[in-house]
C-alpha cells in the first residue's frame, strides 16, 4: 500500500497535535450542553474515533451515511440515508466530516438538520478544508487543516473505498489511481 503514495501532505504527528487542539476547543464550547456528535460515514470514521477520545464530555454519538463522490470527483448530488436522524430535538449537534470540498455535502446536511430535526444548534467540524472555489458557500466551525486543491486519501478518506486505513493524509501516484479506477 505505501508504494502507492506519491507524497504525504499531513503526517501522523501533525494530525495528533491538531486533534488535541480541536478537542480542547470543542470541550470548552460544549461543556454543560446536551451534546450530540453526528459522524458522516465512512469518511469521518477514523477522525471522529480519535477526536472523541480526547473530548471528556458525556456526549452521544450518532452516524449518518452520506455520499457524493465517485472516483476522484464530486457527483454533485448528495444522498442522505434518513434512518438515524431521530432524537436530535432540542440538542446541540456537531456534524463531523472528513473534508470540505465543494461544500455541497455539509450545506445539505446542515440544511436538512435545521429544517427537519428541531436541533437547538448545528455546528460543523472537518479535518480538512480544501482550498477550492466552493459550489455553495460554506465555512466549518472547527477545521483541522487547510489543504491545496488535490485529491487526497488516508486517515478515513478513500479512493473507491481503498486507502482509508493509511495513518496519514497523502496524494496517490497516478498508477494507483488507474489500478483502482473501478
Sites of contact with Mg ion (CB under 5 A)? 43
Site string for ligand 5GP, 51-90 (x = CB under 6 A): -----------------xx----x----------------
State the Cα–Cα distance between residues 52 and 37, nearest whole angstrom.
9
Q: How far is CA 90 from the centre of its chain?
A: 23
Least distance to Mg ion from the beta carbon of 43, Å? 3
In 3-state terms the chain splits into helix, strand, coil percentages (rounded to 5) of 30, 35, 35
Q: Kindly indicate which of the ranges 11-19, 24-32, 48-56, 155-163 contains the residues binding ligand 5GP, using the contact rule CB under 6 A.
A: 155-163
State the Cα–Cα distance between residues 139 and 100, nearest whole angstrom.
8
Query: Shortest CA distance to 22 belongs to which of 57, 64, 55, 56?
Result: 55
Q: Is 37 exposed, middle or buried (0-12, 13-18, 19+ CB in 10 A)?
A: buried
- Given the complex with ligand 5GP, which of 63 and 68 has the nearer CB atom? 68
Cell output for 178: 488507474
Is 101 a residue of the active site? yes
Query: Between residue 105 and residue 144, which ones bind ligand 5GP under the rule CB under 6 A?
Result: 105, 130
Is 168 an interacting residue with respect to ligand 5GP (CB under 6 A)? no
81 contacts 65 by C-beta, under 8 angstroms: yes
Can you tell me which of 51, 101, 124, 176 binds ligand 5GP, judged by CB under 6 A?
Answer: 101
- Given the complex with ligand 5GP, which of 30 and 69 has the nearer CB atom? 69
Active site residues: 101
**Where on the chain is the footprint of ligand 5GP (CB under 6 A)?**
43, 68-69, 74, 97-105, 130, 151-153, 157-159
Amino acid at each position: 500500500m505505501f508504494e502507492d503514495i506519491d507524497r504525504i501532505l499531513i503526517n501522523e504527528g501533525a494530525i495528533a497535535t491538531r486533534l488535541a487542539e480541536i478537542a480542547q476547543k470543542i470541550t470548552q464550547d460544549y461543556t454543560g450542553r446536551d451534546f450530540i456528535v453526528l459522524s458522516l460515514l465512512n469518511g469521518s470514521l477514523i477522525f471522529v474515533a480519535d477526536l472523541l477520545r480526547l473530548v471528556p464530555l458525556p456526549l452521544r454519538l450518532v452516524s449518518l451515511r452520506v455520499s457524493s463522490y465517485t472516483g476522484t470527483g464530486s457527483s454533485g448530488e448528495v444522498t442522505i440515508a434518513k434512518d438515524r436522524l431521530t432524537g436530535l430535538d432540542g440538542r446541540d449537534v456537531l456534524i463531523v466530516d472528513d473534508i470540505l470540498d465543494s461544500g455541497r455535502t455539509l450545506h445539505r446536511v446542515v440544511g436538512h438538520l435545521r429544517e427537519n430535526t428541531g436541533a437547538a444548534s448545528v455546528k460543523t467540524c472537518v479535518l480538512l478544508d480544501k482550498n477550492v472555489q466552493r459550489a455553495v458557500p460554506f465555512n466549518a466551525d472547527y477545521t483541522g487543516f487547510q489543504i491545496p486543491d488535490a485529491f487526497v486519501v488516508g486517515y478515513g478518506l478513500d479512493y473507491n473505498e481503498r486507502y482509508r486505513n493509511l495513518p496519514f493524509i497523502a496524494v496517490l501516484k497516478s498508477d494507483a489511481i488507474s489500478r483502482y479506477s473501478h
